[in-house]
Structure 1
Amino acid sequence: MFIVSFKSYFNYLSYTVLGYAVNIRMSQSKYFDFLKQLPRVGLDNVKPNPYSFKRGKQHIGKNLKNSYYNKYSNMKKHIGFSYSTPFQKKIPQYGYNRETHLKRQFLPFTLWDLQRLIDLGRIDPSDPIDVTTIANARFLNLDKTEFNCYGLYLLEQGANIFEAKVNIEVQIADELSIASVEKCGGTITTAFYDRPSFLALCNPVEYFLKGQPIHKRMLPPQDLVPYYTDPKTRGYLTDPVQIREERQNLAEKYGYVLPDITEDEQFEMLTMKKDPRQIFFGLSPGWIVNLADETVIKPEEKYLVDHSVV
């Protein structure tokens, strides 16, 4: 029974080739001839089952009809949501806070603060004033976080009450503060100090206790050279002849009579300046200050003398 039914099953075959129904009743001898006439199975003639269905992937955010947010209409979209690229990524990035730790900062120092320290007796106006003088007056209180501070910025607040005749050296000064100092018969100079030199000025005792020779002050970097060579800012690298001309031009601009410091009794003090490589008044690079013996050791060898000459 099994053999007869197996042969009768192959006597009648039904094939579906390229969408066409082929019903063939053939004998056992014609079976292999029919298979030879059929095309080979390839990618060009294979088709999916018309009754099968495969569920596609859901693309969230690209199609509103099939999106995740369409199912939950009460859910709000997060800030910056976009169907393609978020808007915060389309905006170009600007380095507002880029390399902030490398930017030089200057502490504000107003004319009101200067006049107050003079009135309290903490600063003697008969001597040149620099960062060391202001630090000894207990005005500077550098914090450990102020690792990029490079000096003082003289501001114009208190220009209406300022009346002292001083010779002051700061790092940056605005125009009105310069006019206020020169109106009272004083002089002002803007000078650059590198970070080690500025720290030595802030605390000279700690610097001298190291027992090392006084180093040379570094020259200003390239971006600050135009400022310290400009006579309008009273830069310390400017020709003195140009500074005298700018003093007169500034007096004409603000409408005051410029005092003649050449006839002043304190002319020597008012014109006292540091060398561009000098840090302290009266001390040259290469010298050693001995606080215990209260002496200053000066070099005698020729090559050391040439190094220390400023």
Structure 2
Amino acid sequence: MTDIRLRRSVLYMPGSNPRALEKAKTLPADALILDLEDAVSMEEKDLAREQVCAAVKSGGYGHRELIIRVNAPQTPWGEKDLRKAIEAKPDAILMPKVSSPAVLESIADHLEALDAPESIAIWAMIETPAAILNIKDIAKARRDRRTRLTCFVLGTNDLAKDTWAQLVKGRVPMLPWMMFTLAAARAEGLTILDGVWNDIGDPEGCREECRQARDLGFDGKTLIHPNQIEPANTSFAPTEEEVRRARLVIEAFEKEENAKRAAIKVEGRMYERQHLGMATRAVVWSEAIAARDAESRG
């Protein structure tokens, strides 16, 4: 099985809440964003930084990918956040307000100056109108290995605030920006995560939005409450029917009589060679999820 990193459910946890940081060790999220920015008041910034970095250093989070979201470098806390986060050695550092490639170039300079371990990746929040307008160039920053860019995270709340777009059901005002950002991410081989669902009392609404994001092509969704994990995990997984059909397509193309054929018919439906790649991805994805589930049970 191809080694892939599942990021179906990526849960924000407030760094100022020690009980939340401890509880996160038991939650079935694929990844955790330990937050020093929006979820933390100005009075608790220093406390959150110490608690988050200590939690990452102490471990105990199992398979869960650990990401520290720092404050922007130009804020009073940004420089120290970045330095302490590097010392803690999370899987990634999430940078807010990445509105141009220059931001990533500056962070790369900081990483080099602080001798950051190569294992630490950089994730970028895409949450400003300027970021949408510059998204192709921001994505291209991945070509410079110094930036360590691996993932885009949509900040839909900030986009709504800055553009006056309404966060309505179906997200029609957001769809052009979402797809433009997704296309830029895919062009450069980046993971891309959808923004949050704000109504924690409506997990079914979250499920519907997760399914929309999955249909649009996103890898997963950022979350703000544990009751959103299950909707995300199930929505960003291929269904049993999708996996069954994918296996049939793979088996059909592997037959000797189909070795040179560009298109074949399976169960009355035509499939071209490009569908073989899509089928393979569905099977690999389902196997990765099964392995994760087995690991969690074991």
TM-score category (smaller protein): under 0.3
User: Which has the larger share of helix?
Assistant: 2
Q: Which fold has the larger relative contact order, with Cα–Cα distance below 8 Å and residues 6 or more apart in sequence?
A: 2
Structure 2-normalised TM-score?
0.26
Q: What is the TM-score of this pair, normalised by structure 1? A: 0.26
